[in-house]
Amino acid sequence: MLHFIEDPFLLQSFYIFLGLVVLSLPALFFRKANSSSLTYFETYKASLKSWWWTAPLILIGLSLPRPFNEILISLLSIWSLKTFFQMVGVFHHFKYVWTIYVCSFFLAYTAFQGWNELYNLVPMFSFVILCLLPILEDNSKHKVQVLSLVFIGFIFYGWCLNHVIFILNLPKGAICFLYLYSLSELCLALTSGFSLRFGKVKLFPNITGRIRLEGLAFSFVTIGTLSWFWKNSLPYGGTLFWALSFLSIFIFSIFGELVVSWMRRDLGLKNMGIFILGRGDILSRVSKVLFVFPSFYYFYLLYTQVGGL
């Protein structure tokens, strides 16, 4: 039997997780009578339907015993890195790419062992190795650009993403993952939907038109309310910890969307937007929660050391 069925808190989160999909359905009616918005909402409708397939896959992954879920996270990190390297055109620099793959696997291992200090030293060691490669090759042509893009990918899809392993090893770690992942996705979906339907004030017009003041206000209230009902299932049920976890979702999910948007625009790449199973790239799925996982984890450590115990 899958262990989430035996865990009452995780089972409760499972119902909340599925409930969030249902609660997001009213956003389908936030339509405007122009072709661009209709195209967006048809895509959004298809995306919502696809989540009925992805939700069980996530729960099955969480039900796996250690170290299989950690291995899955590590492979997801490598897959994301590979997609990023192909996207920015550095995939053919094999020495740099494979250096990052090895460092990413080592990151996953240190997270599995709970070695926090070593985990945070790995980016420094990997940067030194990357700087050493042009010297060993005796070649300086375009190496600054290659090193910069490879290292950015490593920080995003290696260091940030592998924090999921730390979170899964926390008390009620699987619940925390569901909480962060589902509410972050819903936050971005509601922000985009409400912004396109009712939004007037564009906050970042040269980066994205899907994040507007009205959409941010709507998602702030909605996600704050939903996260409040979830707070007793988190490792700490107090108001302060709820506030920290809610802010990590709201602030850093929006921040991740903005960062990925400006990077895609700068590189002249198409923004895949919301995810549809089988139609988007992996970066469209993980980029929006990249900064949520590490921020929540370090908020947890801060709360534990200063205000929790």
The predicted model scores a pTM of 0.80
User: What are 194-226's pLDDT values in tens digits?
Assistant: 888 888 888 888 888 888 899 999 999 999 988
Residue 135 has pLDDT above 80, yes or no: yes
Give CA–CA dist 304/309, Å, rounded. Answer: 6
pLDDT (average), residues 88-99: 90
Interval 23-67: pLDDT, tens: 555 545 544 444 444 445 555 555 555 555 555 566 566 666 777
Residue 6 pLDDT > 70: no
pLDDT of residue 276: 35
pLDDT at residue number 58: 61
Least confident of 8-17, 31-40, 177-186: 31-40
pLDDT at residue 274 in the model: 42
Q: How confident is the model at residue 296 (pLDDT cuts 50, 70, 90)?
A: very high
The residue-averaged pLDDT of 134-146 equals 88
Q: Of 3-17, 59-73, 132-146, 230-244, which range is least confident? A: 3-17
Phi, psi of 284 (to 5 degrees): -65, -25
Per-residue model confidence as pLDDT tens digits over 245-292: 999 999 999 998 888 888 888 877 655 444 433 344 567 677 778 899
Across the range 84-92, mean pLDDT stands at 87
